[in-house]
Amino acid sequence: MGIEEVKNKADLALKRGKLRSVIDPVRLERKDTFRFGCHPGVPCFTRCCRNMNIILTPYDIVRIKERLEMPADLFLHLYAQPEIFVQTGVPVARLKMLEDEGGRCPFVTPSGCQIYTDRPVCCRYYPIGIASLHQHEKNSGEKEEFFFLIKEGHCQGFKEQTEWTVDAWRGDQEADLYDSMNRGWLELLLRKRSFGDEAEMPPKARQLFYMVTTNMERFRSFIFESRFLDTYTVNEETLKRILEDDAALMKFGFEYLKQAIFGTESSELKLKKEVLDSQVKKIMEKRNSARLKNRGKL
């Protein structure tokens, strides 16, 4: 998507909400600079941490629940609201704001964000947005990315003198790490969108998708305490890794969903031959019985 398209889409959405555009229509490259600062000295400090629509990525959940030393079940119960992401029809977890306290984020305090070093990805990237030129992807297989500034009207951070390059800002925010951790999840969302509206995800698939992308303890039990390992072959090294490491398990989950929901092969796990044979047999039996039924109608 190019900068004009990004800007037009944002303008349209904002006009509907009768707001001004917040996107500065200037393309920024990694070495370009901007001035910004967000610290307890800015007059608007923490004012933006309310009424935000924050979709938690799987890696956000892994980091925050670890930071809070909380199991995923409890974290999701206290802080997340499941919802269907309209653009793609897949289930996601939204961070619940505190309704009875003016929509305040549950993690904001007068001295700042309680989980600052583990805050969600969407709190990290502001004020730098990212866009990709998809037409270049199609033509050359290469992805061209560029950046733009998002300027919220109430944000006083742009009056600060600290100068950043886009690269330095992204480094400071751990943006590359977060991008690499969330890439598999974003690919699943895009894959679902490419199927269009007709391909609605069945309720069981939605449940599975939500569990695998939000709840590492449940997903781990699903692998090690159900018939999962009777169905799939997973190598010993991977099993050791995902038994102990939530981030490794999360990435394994993206591979599993690619295969279980979208039928794409993965190098991380393989359907066992006897399971595959039995699935093929069932499909053939279904086809044959449908064919016989149709013949009977003629």
Q: What is the rounded CA–CA span in Å between residue 295 and residue 96? A: 55
Which positions from 193 through 212 interact with ligand SF4, judged by CB under 6 A? none
Query: Is residue 42 close enough to count as binding ligand SF4 by CB under 6 A?
Result: yes
Single-letter residue type at 13: A
Which of 88, 156, 165, 231: binder of ligand SF4 (CB under 6 A)? 156
Q: What is the rounded CA–CA span in Å between residue 15 and residue 11? A: 6
Q: What is the rounded CA–CA span in Å between residue 85 and residue 193? A: 10
Q: Give the residues across from 130 on adjacent strands.
A: 147
Which positions from 58 through 97 interact with ligand SF4, judged by CB under 6 A? none
What phi and psi, each to the nearest 5 degrees, are found at residue 98? -85, 105
Which of 49, 72, 121, 212: binder of ligand SF4 (CB under 6 A)? 49
The 10-39 contact track toward ligand SF4, x by CB under 6 A, reads ----------------------------x-
Q: Applying CB under 6 A, what is the total number of residues that bind ligand SF4?
A: 22
Residues 6+ apart with CB under 8 A from 148: 3, 6, 23, 24, 25, 26, 27, 28, 128, 129, 131
Pick 111 or 294: Cβ nearer ligand SF4 = 111
Pick 129 or 157: Cβ nearer ligand SF4 = 157
Which of 46, 173, 259, 266: binder of ligand SF4 (CB under 6 A)? 46
Query: Is residue 256 close enough to count as binding ligand SF4 by CB under 6 A?
Result: no
Which of 22, 84, 113, 247: binder of ligand SF4 (CB under 6 A)? 113
Query: Is residue 52 close enough to count as binding ligand SF4 by CB under 6 A?
Result: yes
Range list of H helices, the chain = 3-16, 58-68, 72-79, 121-125, 134-140, 166-172, 175-194, 203-214, 216-225, 228-231, 236-244, 246-262, 273-297
Site residues, ligand SF4 (CB under 6 A) = 38, 42, 44-49, 52, 105, 107-108, 113, 115, 119-120, 123, 126, 154-157
